[in-house]
């Protein structure tokens, strides 16, 4: 299997393990608890001396099969799944950080992650937000107490591309945990391990599932970080080689204590969705590219943000790092064009907050997902009031262009 393409290996991954009754899908395991023949075996599993399941909050065979697939896609040594992407991010940090620790994060973050950073600073950790498109800003923010650096690959919604290579080299040199949220790129466009990421985050609710019918999140360990030097690990998780220590603590402290566990049913839906990830990403990225190029030509549109456009400030970086520029674009309407009227004129494209769906979705950013943070933080993230985010789906491109064409051609005032 090793010499086959990743997309092929993903499709045949379940069969590589022993699957019950030869089923070609990993079955749904809905049991809450697991039992063993002897008390000694139960004890061995509890104490981590024998592999197995004890209680569903720490996972089940169905979610474990999904975790194995994500590890395969990321070239990771292991993955822990969670109920949502936010659960993955919060649980990972709560599992690994202590009061007084310092975190450096990109100032261009998914809105709810930005909100979480605020919460984190209120419960005893210091957080410094920096412009992660330049490594120098991250370097300047590092302190002796810095435990982790957190960045996104392509930021949502303005599509800034972090200096992923530079920050990776910096973190390696300083021995700092490097956490990369690769939701926007997916393992199809980018393996975060290639830039030295220690942990890779995915919101599985987005493109990996793709069908908008399940929520999930994951944390993968690339095996590049030396956990033996990490100060906050519990002694019980530091047995044997240090490779697995961090992820074990994320599973134990993150899943067991916090309990935002991915259900078997949603894990299954995500695994089925992931089977077509490569096909869907290819189509969605091609659609996004064409749509971005077309929108950039329209007089009613002031600016288009898409890493695939030569006008994008990190276009060259995106080309060198990713095998596609993603399925997300954003644009500002020109003066006199009401973004709400434009959105209401769209007939096919859906007004929705979600992204990474098979269907194309659009949303006025400042008034919805980035409303609560206030004007000042929006300004620091480059969010104009007229900004519309478009998550491009896999429809026929002519239909997407046609919908925008008719919407822009309609009268401009309500
Ligand atoms: C959606 C998203 C998240 C959160 O994922 P949920 O599954 O919605 O909780 C985190 N990071 C990024 C980049 C996202 O787009």
Confidence band of 6 (pLDDT split at 50, 70, 90): confident
Q: Which ligand 1 atom is nearest residue 184's CA? A: 13
Structural domains of the chain, ranges and CATH numbers in brackets: 6-274 (3.40.640.10), 277-408 (3.90.1150.10)
Supply the pTM of this predicted model: 0.96
- Beta bridge partner(s), residue 202: 218
Predicted pLDDT at 162: 98
Predicted pLDDT at 411: 63
Confidence band of 17 (pLDDT split at 50, 70, 90): confident
Probe ligand 1: pick from 92, 161, 183, 211, max atoms within 8 Å of CB? Answer: 183
Contact 111, 137 (CB under 8 A): no
C-beta of 153 in contact with ligand 1 (< 6 A): no
Token pair for 46: 């509890």
Predicted pLDDT at 20: 87
C-beta of 14 in contact with ligand 1 (< 6 A): no
Query: Is a pLDDT exceeding 70 seen at residue 39?
Result: yes
| Three-state secondary structure call for residue 294 | helix
Question: How far is 186 from 17, CA to CA, in rounded Å?
Answer: 24
What tens digit of pLDDT does each residue of 18-30 get? 788 888 899 999 9
Query: Is a pLDDT exceeding 80 seen at residue 219?
Result: yes
Query: Is a pLDDT exceeding 80 seen at residue 203?
Result: yes
C-beta of 84 in contact with ligand 1 (< 6 A): yes
Predicted pLDDT at 1: 73
C-beta of 206 in contact with ligand 1 (< 6 A): yes
- Average of pLDDT values for 116-143? 97
* H or E stretch at 295: helix 277-296
β strands within 206-274, DSSP E: 217-221
Q: Quick one: how many helices (H) and strands (E) in the chain?
A: 16, 12
Nearest C-alpha to atom 4 of ligand 1 is from which residue?
Answer: 85
With vertex at residue 298, the alpha carbon angle to CA 297 and CA 300, rounded to the nearest 5 degrees, is 150
Query: Is a pLDDT exceeding 90 seen at residue 188?
Result: yes
Residue with tokens 């419960």: 123
Question: How far is 257 from 255, CA to CA, in rounded Å?
Answer: 6
Query: Is a pLDDT exceeding 90 seen at residue 370?
Result: no
Confidence band of 153 (pLDDT split at 50, 70, 90): very high
Query: Is a pLDDT exceeding 90 seen at residue 3?
Result: no
What tens digit of pLDDT does each residue of 97-115 get? 999 999 999 999 998 999 9
Residue with tokens 């399925």: 327
User: Cα 20 from chain centroid?
Assistant: 31
Predicted pLDDT at 369: 87
Contact 114, 138 (CB under 8 A): no
Predicted pLDDT at 412: 56
Range 13-22, long-range pairs (CB < 8 A, 24+ positions):
13/65, 13/68, 13/69, 13/72, 14/65, 14/271, 17/65, 17/68
Confidence band of 296 (pLDDT split at 50, 70, 90): very high
The secondary structure of residue 263, as a DSSP letter, is: P
Probe ligand 1: pick from 70, 81, 85, max atoms within 8 Å of CB? Answer: 85
Confidence band of 373 (pLDDT split at 50, 70, 90): confident
Query: Is a pLDDT exceeding 70 seen at residue 319?
Result: yes
Q: Which ligand 1 atom is nearest residue 205's CA? A: 7
Q: Calculate how far, in angstroms, residue 108's C-alpha sits from the geometric centre of ligand 1.
A: 13
Contact 238, 245 (CB under 8 A): yes
C-beta of 81 in contact with ligand 1 (< 6 A): no
Predicted pLDDT at 19: 84
Predicted pLDDT at 413: 54
**Is the N-terminal amide bond of 157 cis, ω within 30° of 0?**
yes
Q: Calculate how far, in angstroms, residue 88's C-alpha sits from the geometric centre of ligand 1.
A: 9
C-beta of 66 in contact with ligand 1 (< 6 A): no
């Amino acid at each position: 299997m090793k010499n086959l393409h990743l997309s092929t290996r993903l499709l045949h991954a379940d069969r590589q393990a022993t699957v019950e009754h030869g089923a070609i899908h990993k079955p749904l395991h809905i049991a809450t608890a697991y039992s063993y023949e002897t008390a000694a075996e139960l004890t061995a599993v509890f104490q981590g001396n024998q592999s197995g399941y004890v209680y569903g909050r720490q996972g089940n065979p169905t979610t474990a099969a999904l975790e194995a697939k994500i590890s395969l896609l990321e070239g990771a040594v292991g993955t822990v799944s969670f109920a949502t992407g936010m659960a993955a991010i919060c649980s990972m940090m709560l599992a690994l950080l202590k009061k007084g620790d310092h975190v450096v994060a990109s100032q261009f973050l998914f809105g709810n992650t930005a909100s979480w950073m605020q919460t984190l600073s209120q419960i005893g950790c210091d957080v410094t937000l920096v412009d992660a498109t330049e490594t120098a800003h991250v370097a300047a923010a590092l302190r002796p107490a810095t435990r982790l650096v957190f960045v996104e690959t392509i930021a949502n919604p303005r599509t800034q591309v972090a200096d992923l290579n530079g920050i990776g080299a910096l973190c390696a040199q300083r021995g700092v945990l490097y956490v990369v949220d690769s939701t926007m790129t997916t393992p199809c466009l980018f393996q975060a391990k290639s830039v030295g990421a220690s942990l890779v985050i995915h919101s599985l609710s987005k493109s990996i599932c793709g069908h908008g019918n399940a929520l999930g999140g994951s944390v993968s360990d690339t095996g590049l970080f030396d956990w033996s030097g990490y100060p906050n690990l519990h002694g019980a998780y530091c047995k044997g080689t240090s490779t697995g220590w961090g992820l074990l603590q994320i599973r134990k402290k993150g899943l067991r204590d916090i309990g935002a566990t991915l259900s078997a049913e949603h894990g299954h839906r995500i695994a089925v969705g992931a089977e077509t990830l490569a096909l869907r990403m290819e189509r969605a990225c091609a659609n996004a590219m064409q749509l971005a190029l077309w929108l950039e030509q329209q007089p009613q549109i002031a600016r288009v943000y898409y890493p695939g456009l030569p006008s994008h400030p990190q276009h060259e970086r995106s080309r060198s790092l990713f095998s596609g520029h993603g399925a997300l674009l954003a644009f500002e309407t020109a003066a006199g064009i009401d973004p709400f009227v434009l959105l209401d004129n769209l007939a096919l494209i859906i007004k929705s907050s979600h992204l990474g769906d098979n269907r194309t979705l659009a949303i006025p950013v400042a008034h919805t997902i980035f409303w609560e943070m206030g004007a000042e933080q929006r300004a620091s993230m480059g969010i104009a009031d007229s900004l519309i985010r478009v998550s491009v789906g896999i429809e026929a491109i002519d239909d997407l262009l046609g919908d925008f064409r008719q919407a822009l051609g309609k009268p401009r005032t309500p």
